[in-house]
């Protein structure tokens, strides 16, 4: 049984659309609930375990970056998601 503060996989949000900046980098994410996350909000939500299918990594620049989890499904790769 899950504790009150824990989210189960089925209750987590997932990103279904992305927005890119002028340089082609991801800058916003839209979840399956319609909520729009800017990059920093998305990092926080992933850190808190609220988002499934996304993970953080530290880039060469020392900053946290977001990428999709490699689950073998091309439909969940951020580069394949529709733009909004």
Domain boundaries defined on the chain = 13-81
Phi, psi angles (nearest 5°) of residue 26: -60, 135
Per-residue DSSP letters for 59-75? Answer: -TTS-EEEEE---S-GG
What whole-number distance in Å separates Cα of residue 15 and Cα of residue 37?
A: 9
Q: Are the CB atoms for 18 and 26 separated by under 8 Å?
A: yes
- Looking at per-residue pLDDT, the higher value among 4 and 35 belongs to 35
Query: CA Rg, the chain, in Å?
Result: 13
Tell which residue, 20, 2, 21, 22, has the closest CA to residue 12: 2
pLDDT at 24 over 90: yes
Q: What mean pLDDT value characterizes the chain?
A: 90
Q: What is the pTM of this model?
A: 0.82
């Amino acid at each position: 049984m899950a504790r009150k503060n824990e989210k189960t996989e089925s209750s987590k949000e997932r990103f279904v659309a992305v927005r890119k900046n002028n340089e082609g980098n991801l800058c916003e994410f839209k979840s399956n609930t319609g909520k729009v996350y800017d990059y920093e909000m998305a990092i926080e939500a992933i850190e808190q375990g609220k988002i499934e299918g996304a993970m953080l990594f530290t880039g060469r620049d020392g900053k946290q970056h977001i990428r999709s989890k490699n689950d073998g499904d091309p439909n969940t790769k951020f580069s394949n998601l529709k733009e909004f």
